[in-house]
Amino acid sequence: MRYDGKKQWGWRVHIEVGGIRMGYDMEGRGAPLVLLHGFPLNRAMWRAQVAGLRDRFTVIAPDFRGFGDSEIPRNPMTMDAYAQDVIALLDALDCPRFALEGLSMGGYVAFRVMALAADRVSALLIADSRAEPDTDEGRQRRYAAVARIEDEGPAGYLAEFAGLVVGPTTKAQRPGVVQAVREIIGAPPARSLTAALSAMASRPDSRSLLGEVKVPALVVVGEEDTLTPPEAAEVMVAALPNARLVRIPSAGHMSNLEAPEAFTRAVRDFLAAEFPTAG
């Protein structure tokens, strides 16, 4: 299945990597672009971007372990473990080099892919995420969520979370987006949620990586994102040697779902400028 720049792929499949079944989509033609989803969603959150980019890129969107169609974690997880799953998938697809995009938790995983395999990344795109680790207060919130899920089950936590990740303009003017987020989240198992929350709480500080990123970078943030606000995006852009910032108006933490056209255009324009012959 080696990418040859000519064949057009388009299938939704599973593959065995690292001893687990991993779900992913692979659609389009051209240079590979890997999309890493946010917590507690899955690869379905990228549908608009896949549709808007597959004419020029081979878009690969995996499900993290425990989400979507990927198997539930058997052991505690770390950001490095999620990153290793992504790398193993790309190895199995014989994809030696790729542009890499991650939103929210996907951004945390993207930084660990950079730490483990920077030579394979042709461009880095980070959306609604941050490089610094959780504060003590942030870790306490995540561990409190773990305790709640273990005590009560996931339903109440997930219903509240879907309302937290979209901005006030979206809630007021595009209420269907909140319902769409809930539908994409679905009903991931409690063990998947608690493993991811614990991994995010204990994730390493990625700020030291930023100055070592030699490839072009794009940072995207919703102007109404309160979880990873525009100030965090500005800090990353200042530290990255070759980066640009795009702020998405009237969007919160799920900027790719709240303003899909603006988000997709930002990604497409960035990659077209940096790689004009791609595809």
pLDDT tens profile 243-252: 999 999 999 9
Q: Is it the case that residue 146 has pLDDT exceeding 70?
A: yes
**CA distances (Å), 151 to each of 143, 146, 148, 154, 246, in order?**
12, 9, 5, 9, 40
Locate 75 and state its tokens.
Answer: 């052991």
pLDDT of residue 7: 39
| 136-145, 246-255, 269-278, range with the lowest pLDDT | 269-278
Domain-located, residue 3: no
Domain-located, residue 243: yes
Domain-located, residue 258: yes
Domain-located, residue 2: no
Task: Identify whether the C-beta of residue 9 lies closer than 8 Å to the C-beta of residue 60.
Answer: no
**CA distances (Å), 34 to each of 119, 139, 189, in order?**
15, 28, 25
Q: Is it the case that residue 253 has pLDDT exceeding 50?
A: yes
Q: Is it the case that residue 15 has pLDDT exceeding 80?
A: no
| 121-147 average pLDDT score | 97
CATH code where residue 253 lies? 3.40.50.1820
Which residues form the domain of 181? 9-274
Q: Is it the case that residue 4 has pLDDT exceeding 60?
A: no
Q: Is it the case that residue 70 has pLDDT exceeding 80?
A: yes
Q: Is it the case that residue 2 has pLDDT exceeding 50?
A: no
| 130-154 average pLDDT score | 97
| 130-134 average pLDDT score | 97
Task: Identify whether the C-beta of residue 69 lies closer than 8 Å to the C-beta of residue 23.
Answer: yes
Q: Is it the case that residue 278 has pLDDT exceeding 80?
A: no
Q: Is it the case that residue 13 has pLDDT exceeding 80?
A: no
| 170-182 average pLDDT score | 95
Instruction: For residue 111, give the nearest of 36, 202, 198 by alpha carbon.
Output: 36
pLDDT band at 11 (very low <50, low <70, confident <90, very high): very low
Domain count, the chain: 1
Task: Identify whether the C-beta of residue 113 lies closer than 8 Å to the C-beta of residue 213.
Answer: no
| 206-224 average pLDDT score | 97
Greater confidence, 159 or 11? 159
| 3-7, 28-32, 50-54, range with the lowest pLDDT | 3-7
Helix ranges (DSSP H) in the chain: 47-53, 79-92, 105-117, 136-152, 155-164, 168-173, 175-185, 190-201, 207-210, 230-239, 255-258, 260-274
pLDDT band at 9 (very low <50, low <70, confident <90, very high): very low
pLDDT band at 75 (very low <50, low <70, confident <90, very high): confident
ω before 40 within 30° of 0 (cis)? Answer: yes
Domain-located, residue 213: yes
Q: CB neighbours of 159 closer than 8 A, spacing ≥ 6?
A: 182
Task: Identify whether the C-beta of residue 70 lies closer than 8 Å to the C-beta of residue 109.
Answer: no
Domain-located, residue 98: yes
pLDDT of residue 10: 44
Domain-located, residue 78: yes
| 52-62 average pLDDT score | 96
| 217-222: strand order across its sheet | 9-17, 20-28, 57-62, 31-36, 98-103, 121-127, 217-222, 243-248
Per-residue burial over 30-67, b if 16 or more Cβ lie within 10 Å, else e, is bbbbbbbbbbbbbbbbbbebbebbbebbbbbbbbbbbb
In the chain, % of residues over pLDDT 70 = 94
pLDDT of residue 274: 81
pLDDT band at 277 (very low <50, low <70, confident <90, very high): low
Q: Is it the case that residue 12 has pLDDT exceeding 80?
A: no
Q: Is it the case that residue 168 has pLDDT exceeding 80?
A: yes
Q: Is it the case that residue 232 has pLDDT exceeding 90?
A: yes
Domain-located, residue 279: no
